[in-house]
Amino acid sequence: TGGGDAWIVGGTGSDEIASGEGRGYILADTGLMTFDGEGRVTEITATDDGSYGDDTVTSGDGEDWIVGGAGADVITDG
């Protein structure tokens, strides 16, 4: 993603996810993102439905919430 805020869900399978300089909310597998009434993320929860993969997540500078979920995930926070 670019330099703005990003809401990213990788979903099933093995994913390669990279976020930029802004605030990132990243869920590498399946799950839920909960938002408050003003659209701010308050919780990220992974669910194990058996469709996960081995994900690679790289985030840039900025405030990031990252949930890998199941599998052999590699997470690098900038």
Give the confidence band of 73 by pLDDT, cuts at 50, 70, 90: very high
Q: Which residue has the tokens 């300089």?
A: 21
Nearest to 35 by CA among 20, 45, 47: 45
Look up residue 61 and give its DSSP letter. S
pLDDT, residue 62, reads: 84
pLDDT, residue 36, reads: 97
pLDDT, residue 26, reads: 92
Nearest to 11 by CA among 49, 58, 64: 49
How many Å apart are CA 4 and CA 47, to the nearest integer? 27
Give the confidence band of 5 by pLDDT, cuts at 50, 70, 90: confident
- For residue 6, the cross-strand partners are 24
